[in-house]
Structure 1
Amino acid sequence: MTVSPNLRAILAMVAAMGLLVASDSCMKLGLAYAPLFQLMAIRGLVSVTLCLVLIVALGQAAQLPRMFNGWLAARGVLETVANIAFTSALAFVAIADVTAIAQTCPLLVLLGAWAFRGEKLGLARGLLILVGIAGALLVAQPGAGAASFYAMLAFLTPLAAAVRDLITPNAPKDVPPLVATLAVMVCLGAAGLIGMLAFNEPVTPVLPVWLLMGLAGAMSLAGHLLLYLAYRIGQARTVAPFMYSLTIWAVLSGLVLFGEIPNALAIAGMALISATGLAIIWLDGRQRREG
């Protein structure tokens, strides 16, 4: 039986979301043993090493200089900002809540496309974006306690990720996926190393740190690679709705690993964000059929 490209892309997207949540869960567990930037540096070392081994094994080493393309480097920097904000918030906020806030990214991409590319937004999309942002505020619950500051900090994640996605079409399309992924992994690892030297007092890594960061590095690499491939092999309007599987993975991780149960307002906010994203995708599909 032949599997369609869109179905393969959907499976890649769902798997990517699960792997990225698993990587972030390892980071959250690792914070009990070592500071944030040291964990990022160790995870970066693992992911960069694995990525280089795969690139050499596949005979793509000659393509390595292309990772220094300006657009790919910019994507790496933006991913680093998003990752640091996300991981910093994880130390104080439930993983499902932080993930739900991060899922306003597609809504911000639509706003950016309207503001900077002149793409039509329309009243319906504008209202849906406002509903999605309201949902994110329900999850963050500003003023509800000390953790609300870190929930608001998590909003840097979708902002940086939205800019990353808006500039992605400018990146060369013939760069091998692993090389494009390596650019992100190097930026993340370098930020961890710089931050560790500047802001952290490094500790001697114990065995759990090496095990957790080994898993985090491998899953981060696999997740970013599958995310890149999902949009390479499938149609964006078909694949994009399945990015919302991230919330399901995050809720499962929070329940199983951390015993975190979202409160009623947070659950309502997650539902609004997911429903808004799916409604926008459905609206796009209907307009294409009518067009």
Structure 2
Amino acid sequence: MTSARSHWFGIAAMVLATGLFIVSDSLMKLTAQALEQPFQVLFMRCFFGLVSCACLVLVTGQFRKIGGVLHWRPLLRGSCEAASTFFYMAALANMPIADAIAIGQTAPLLVIIAVAVIFRERIGAIRLALVCAGFLGAVLVAQPTGSGLSPAAIYAFLTAMSVAMRDLLTRGVPSSIPTFVVLLASTFILTLTTGAATLAFHPWIPPSPSQWLTMVASGFIVTIGQMAIFLAYRRTPASVVAPYYYSFTVWAVTAGFVVWREVPNSLAVAGMILIVGSGLALLFVNPRKVQEAVA
């Protein structure tokens, strides 16, 4: 594959992945609103995502290295993934999907701060200013009142923190452990934790046939989205495809309007622009270090 074709493939895969995640999240939110059982809905999506991921492990032949699921880094990464999913679901249930996604997209900015603190990497004045601009954008989206941030906004910020921890752990996962095996570990932990939460907090409500089909589709779609991101980073430099991660916001605003008729106010729109703009600008301030942070 030529360099130009590889770049276009990676860009298309990243945009497709973010779109698929929003479709999956929208299906999950619709089902959660109907059942009023967020943990049960999460469990259903995770279970069908686990089935889909297991099939991919078998089809790609990565089952030969299935022992990698017991490595402590994939397990800890999966725990962070589980935490981020719980927080995101809590935020999604109580705020517009575009706002939840926008605040969650401060995760790459948190990664940069964490790399500076943990690994003593110099940020520089320009990068620090861009990180601060991104957090200002998150505050504009959250729009705290005199009594502080809403619980939903706090959940969205906790989502970003969990995702940042997950991404930092991803950097240290041994290359000998295949991608889908790492994904299988995360999905397995998600399925266990959401199943336990369902049993602990809510009685099981039998879903309708259409709700079963919706969650089958949601679990399959989120797995394909993960595969698309894997292919994007495998065939294209991270510095090329990473900026298109912020297409999340475009998809989220579109889904919010089409499905729920949610229109962000002017402050939220300004905040989204700041988050996306600062994230994109960071990719060009110091490409080598930023590429390491988002990889």
The normalised TM-score by structure 1 is 0.93
> Equivalences for 1:20-35 in 2 at 5 Å?
20-34=21-35, 35=37
> Equivalences for 1:143-154 in 2 at 5 Å?
143=145, 148-154=150-156
Distance 1:144 1:210, change over 3 A: farther
Contact 2:109–2:279 (CA under 8 A) maintained in structure 1: yes
Q: What is the deviation of 1:287?
A: 9.3
The residue identity in structure 1 corresponding to 2:6 is P
Q: What is the deviation of 1:44?
A: 1.4
Gapped regions of structure 2 (runs ≥ 5): 291-295
Q: Partner residue of 2:221?
A: 219
* Structure 2 residue 140 is the aligned partner of structure 1 residue 141: no
The residue identity in structure 1 corresponding to 2:278 is T
The residue identity in structure 1 corresponding to 2:208 is V
Of residues 215, 229, 232, the one that matches 2:231 is 229
Contact 1:92–1:147 (CA under 8 A) maintained in structure 2: no
Of residues 243, 250, 263, the one that matches 1:261 is 263
Q: Partner residue of 1:96?
A: 98
Distance 1:146 1:136, change over 3 A: closer
What do residues 170-220 of structure 1 show as CA deviations (whole Å, max 9, x unaligned)?
A: 101132222121112112211210110111122111123212211110111
What do residues 82-126 of structure 1 show as CA deviations (whole Å, max 9, x unaligned)?
A: 111111111110000000001111111110110001111001111
What do residues 220-266 of structure 1 show as CA deviations (whole Å, max 9, x unaligned)?
A: 11112222333333222222111100000101111111111111110
> Equivalences for 1:56-75 in 2 at 5 Å?
56-75=58-77
Q: Partner residue of 2:113?
A: 111
In 1, Cα distance between the equivalents of 2:217 and 2:33?
A: 16
What do residues 114-142 of structure 1 show as CA deviations (whole Å, max 9, x unaligned)?
A: 00011110011111111110100110111
Q: Partner residue of 2:165?
A: 163
Of residues 75, 83, 86, the one that matches 1:84 is 86
In 1, Cα distance between the equivalents of 2:258 and 2:278?
A: 27
User: What is the RMSD of the two structures over their aligned residues, measured on CA atoms?
Assistant: 2.1
The normalised TM-score by structure 2 is 0.91
Of residues 191, 197, 200, the one that matches 1:198 is 200
The residue identity in structure 1 corresponding to 2:165 is V
Q: Partner residue of 1:172?
A: 174
Q: What is the deviation of 1:147?
A: 8.8
Q: Partner residue of 1:283?
A: 285
In 1, Cα distance between the equivalents of 2:259 and 2:265?
A: 17
Distance 1:167 1:54, change over 3 A: closer
Contact 1:237–1:284 (CA under 8 A) maintained in structure 2: no
Gapped regions of structure 1 (runs ≥ 5): none
Alignment length (residue pairs): 288
* Identity value in percent: 37
Distance 1:147 1:218, change over 3 A: farther
The residue identity in structure 2 corresponding to 1:18 is G
In 1, Cα distance between the equivalents of 2:193 and 2:229?
A: 22
The residue identity in structure 2 corresponding to 1:119 is E
Moved more, 234-243 or 275-284: 234-243
Q: Partner residue of 1:5?
A: 6
Contact 2:143–2:149 (CA under 8 A) maintained in structure 1: no
Moved more, 262-271 or 142-151: 142-151
The residue identity in structure 1 corresponding to 2:203 is E
